[in-house]
Amino acid sequence: MNAIPFKQCTACAKEFPATTEFFTRNKKGKDGLFTQCKTCKNKKQKERWNQLETRQIMRNQRKEYYQKNRDQVLARQKEYTQTHSDAISEQKKAYYQKNADEIKANVHNYRKNNAENIKHHKRAYRQANLDKIREKGKQYSQQNKEQMLQNHRRWRENNREYFNLQSKAYCARRRARKLQIPGSYTVPQWNDLKKSYDYTCLCCQKKEPEIKLTPDHIIPLAKQGANTILNIQPLCLNCNLLKGTQIKDYRPNMRSIISTNNH
């Protein structure tokens, strides 16, 4: 076997085997290697990088090179990622595990500071790719139908109260749409309304959890009342059923919304 020749580093004067393990490649070198060992070369590069002026010059050089050779750079990057996909995945996993808390904090801060921009970009992307998103969602639903049903059942069981409120709001919206009545309200709006009245039925004055509050339309949908939170009052189920389709406003310190023609 041929012995591996040794090479002396011109910076630290130490001798190392003349291989790529200790020296970086250099096509212009006589032996195809740099004259300095990797340790000395990296140290010199760090010293140069720490100088602000040098750093800016290097950034400009890289930017200029990228602009001139963009297609070649992207092709090399694509080829490298395809060839070393497993190694890149392992590298990313290791880095994430090591810096998980820092990454999560950075992502949280970015989303918090750029919430409006993120919403704008998501909305713009959705509008530009609506057909693609719908087709992708349709394919996912078909391929994962059973799993999605299980997830929905599990969520419904764990959020029974919210699901019931959401169903009532949906039914009211559906009825209003059939009657060509504008407006809608959401579960968070209903929860805020209950809180503003201290979770009290405005008719019998009983409170939750003694009773269960339900959304009542002050002017019923059957009489062309709006399906908005401004036309909703919290009543218990019994009071709501007794009121029926009558127009009664139980809200305190407010003028009745019933006109004189409806008395």
Give how far the C-alpha of residue 113 lies from the chain's centroid of Cα atoms, to the nearest Å: 13
49/140: higher pLDDT: 140
Q: What confidence category does residue 44 fall into, taking pLDDT thresholds of 50, 70 and 90?
A: confident
Q: Could you give the 3-state DSSP secondary structure of residue 11?
A: coil
Please tell me the pTM assigned to this model: 0.44
Q: Is pLDDT above 80 for 54?
A: no
What confidence tens digit (pLDDT) does each residue in 87-102 have?
Answer: 999 999 999 999 999 9
Task: Provide the 8-state DSSP code for 259.
Answer: -
Measure the CA–CA gap between 250 and 170, rounded to whole angstroms.
24
Domain-by-domain residue ranges, the chain? 6-82, 160-262
For residue 259, pLDDT beyond 70: no
Average pLDDT over residues 143-172: 83
pLDDT of res. 256: 43
Torsion, CA 82, CA 87, CA 89, CA 92, rounded to 10:
-130
- Asked whether the bond before 188 is cis by omega within 30 degrees of 0, the reply is no
Q: pLDDT, tens digit, for every residue of 100-131?
A: 999 999 999 999 999 999 999 999 999 999 99
> For domain 160-262, which CATH number applies: 1.10.30, 3.20.20, 3.30.310, 3.30.519?
1.10.30
* Residue bearing tokens 């949280």: 108
- Tokens for 68? 């001139």
Start-to-end CA distance of the chain, whole Å, equals 111
Quick one: which of 44, 35, 29 has its CA closest to 7? 35
Average pLDDT over residues 218-226: 89
Q: Dig out the tokens for 144 from the structure.
A: 């994962």
Give the span between the Cα atoms of 62 and 68, in whole angstroms.
Answer: 10
